Amino acid sequence: MPLPYYVSPEQMMQDKAEYAKKGIAKGRSIIAIEYVNGILLVAENPSASLYKISEIYDSIAFAGAGKYSEFENLRKAGIRHADLKGFMYSREDVTARSLANGYSQSVGTIFSQEQKPLEVEILVVQVGHNGHANEMYRISFDGSIIDERTFAVIGGKAEAIQALLKEKGLTKPPDLREALSLCISSLEQIGSQKLSLESLEVAVLDRTREGRRFRRLSAADTKQLLSP
């Protein structure tokens, strides 16, 4: 019987983290940014039907970067969790905080216990209304959870874009048009290529809407929004 090799826990975690990071680095980036009436989400996504951004509940949205099959599973689990909670208690009891906690637990458990960690990075954002602030949570492949303000970026070039947005020094939330062009220019600058509107997936959580506040913006919508 061959003896099992000893691998130190540090080494194992480091290997897993490296593996997950490598997987995520291959993917494109997604930006969530606060604007006057809510939160704007912009993803670089050449597919028009395989979404990276999705509605979870009335004022909660989800975005996933990395391996599609893995974040798609997380997205579905989130919708089930939210719908169950809303059905069991009330619609206002579904919060991004509890959802982000659930994600963090699950992703963290998988990272430490499974052979292969999840190669995903996800965002859970909730638009605040009636005077409440927006909430943005970024959850990493190891289950670590970061509470973001003003903007949040995930995906391959997240750090570079984050630095770029920080440089702009936003003091107050821009309007939708300004926020959208800021996102597009940041993605273009980091990717050093011109992006067509068709290759972008854009959605908003608009606090001025009633009930379900999530809305996708088609290429035609964004074109109209950006036209002077």
Binding site for another protein (CB under 8 A): 49, 51, 54-56, 73-74, 76-77, 79-81, 83-84, 86-88, 102-103, 105-106, 109-110, 113-114, 212
- Joined tokens for residue 167: 């440089």
Residue 58 C-beta: closest distance to another protein, Å: 10
Residue nearer to another protein on the CB measure, 65 or 110: 110
Residue 186 C-beta: closest distance to another protein, Å: 27
Residue nearer to another protein on the CB measure, 77 or 160: 77
- Do the beta carbons of residue 199 and residue 44 sit within 8 Å? yes
Residue nearer to another protein on the CB measure, 89 or 163: 89
Q: Pick the closest to residue 191 from 157, 149, 227, 218 (CA basis).
A: 157
Residue nearer to another protein on the CB measure, 26 or 212: 212
Sheet hosting strand 30-35, strand order edge to edge: 151-154, 30-35, 38-44, 200-206, 214-217
Residue 80 C-beta: closest distance to another protein, Å: 6
Residue 196 C-beta: closest distance to another protein, Å: 22
Residue 90 C-beta: closest distance to another protein, Å: 11
d(CA 26, CA 21): 9
- Distance from CA of residue 149 to its chain's centroid? 13
d(CA 206, CA 217): 12
List residues bridging with 202 in a β-sheet.
42, 217
Residue nearer to another protein on the CB measure, 74 or 190: 74
